[in-house]
Structure 1
Amino acid sequence: MAKLIDARGLSCPAPVLLVKDTLEKESLQELTVLVDDEACRENVTRFLGSQNFEVLDTGQGNHIQLEARRTSTANAVETKATAQQTNENPDGSQKILILVASDRLGSGDDTLGEKLMINYLKTVKEMGNDLWQLVFVNSGVKLTTESSAVLQVLQEYERAGVIILACGTCLEHFGLTSAKMVGETTNMLDIVTATQLADKVINIG
C-alpha cells in the first residue's frame, strides 16, 4: 500500500521538504502526495523524479494527487538544474548565479527601472561561460512569462546552457504559473542549494 503524504495547506518548499524527510526516514517504493497548487505539483514531481520515481498526476476534486512509484533504473533521473548544480564547469570557468528579485532595476522611476532591467539582462551574456544560473524571485518572475520583453533573450540563454529558475511561490502569488514560458519552476530549497554551490551570487532588483 502506498504511503500517503498530505501536504495540502503547506507553502513551498514545505511539501518538498516533507517528501524529502519521509524518503530519508523510510525506504518506500510507492507513495501518494496531496498538494494544493501547480507550483507545489511541479516542485514535488521534479524532486521525486530526481529520486528515481515515476510520477502520475491523478487530480481528485479540489486538490492535486501525485502517485509515485520507484523505477527499476539504478540511477536517479536528474533535471538539468540538478545535474549542473552538482558538477564543476568543464572549462574551469566560475559559476555565477544572478538572483533577480524584481522586474525593474533600482528605485525612483519605474519606467526607467524596467528599461534598465531589460538592458541588464540583455547584457549579462558578456559574462560568457561564467554565467551559470538566473534565478527569478518576487516580481522578477514576471520576466519569465509570455508578456516579458526579455523572454526571447532568456530562452536563448537557456538554449545555450544557462540554468533558469523561477520561484513557484512567487508565480502562484502573482497568478502567473501558467504564463511562465522559460526555465523551471523551483522552490526555496533549490534556491538555497544553488546559492551555496555558486562561486559568486549577484543580487539585482
Structure 2
Amino acid sequence: MPIIDTRGQLCPKPLIMAKQVFNTLEPGQIMEVLTDHETSLSNLMNFFTALKAIPVSEKHDDGWHVYATKPLSGHVEPVNPEAFCQTSNATPTGKHVVCLTSNLMGKGDDQLGALLMRGFINALAEQDVLPSHIICYNGAVKLAIKGTDTLTSLITMENQGVNIILCGTCVDFFDIKPQIGTGTISNMYQITQILSQASKVIYP
C-alpha cells in the first residue's frame, strides 16, 4: 500500500502529492496519506470523496491517517486538487495563464520548434513567479507524455502548485491517455473558464 507523508506541507501540496499517487493506483488498491494539519485533513477527505475513493480517516499520535480506495469501475470526472484547497489563494483570477497549442514553438523547422519549446518550458519552471495554470491542447498534450524531455519541468511546476490542464478531446484524438505522465485531463468548458478569468494569457 502506497503511503504518502504530507506532514508539514501546506495546501495545495498535500492534495497534489495525493493526486499523483492516486493516479498510479490499480482499481481497488488502497493508499494512505499522513497529515498533521486539520484543514489539510478536511481538504483530503473532500478531494477523495469527489474521486469516489470512499476516504476513511484515523487519528494517531503522529497526526491523521487517511485511507482512500481507487474505484473498481465507473467513470470519475477529472478533479482539480486546488479546487479543494480551503487555504489556497492561487486562483486563475488575477494570475497569468500559459496556453500551449503545440508541442513545437513557432513555425518553420520542426526540430528547431521542439528545441525551442523544451527551452521555454524549462525556463518557465525556473521563474520566480509561476503561472496559475498551464493549458495544453492540440499537439501540446504530447508534452506531458512519459519519457519526454519536457515532463520533468512540468512535474516540477505542478509540485509547486501550477495546474497542468490537458485537453481531454486532444488526448483521446492522439490516443495517448496511458502515456500521460502528469497533469489533469479536462474539458473545453473548464479550459474556457480558466482563460476567461485569467488576468493575462501567454501564448509562446
Per-residue Cα deviation, 1:148-170 (whole angstroms, up to 9, x for no partner): 11111111111111111111110
Q: CA 1:196/1:83 → structure 2, altered by over 3 Å: closer, same or farther? A: farther
TM-score, normalization: structure 2? Answer: 0.58
Post-superposition offset of 1:105? 0.2
Runs of 4 or more above 2 Å deviation: 49-58, 65-68, 81-84, 87-90, 125-130
Aligned length: 138
Q: Percent same amino acid at aligned positions? A: 25
Gaps of 5+ in 2: 1-46, 54-70
Q: CA 1:111/1:57 → structure 2, altered by over 3 Å: closer, same or farther? A: same
Counterpart AA for 1:147: G
TM-score, normalization: structure 1? Answer: 0.58
Post-superposition offset of 1:172? 0.7
Alignment correspondent of 1:124: 124
Per-residue Cα deviation, 1:38-97 (whole angstroms, up to 9, x for no partner): xxxxxxxxxxx7995837564xxxxxx5499xxxxxxxxx7324347xx6449xx95111
Q: CA 1:130/1:153 → structure 2, altered by over 3 Å: closer, same or farther? A: closer
Q: CA 1:177/1:89 → structure 2, altered by over 3 Å: closer, same or farther? A: closer
Gaps of 5+ in 1: 1-48, 59-64, 69-77
Aligned partner of residue 54 in structure 1, secondary structure? coil
Match of 1:54 among 36, 52, 74: 52
Matches within 5 A, 1:3-22: none
Q: Which one has the bigger helix percentage?
A: 1
Answer whether contact 1:165 1:185 (CA < 8 A) is retained. yes
Alignment correspondent of 1:99: 99
Q: How large is the RMSD of aligned CA atoms in angstroms?
A: 3.1
Alignment correspondent of 1:152: 152
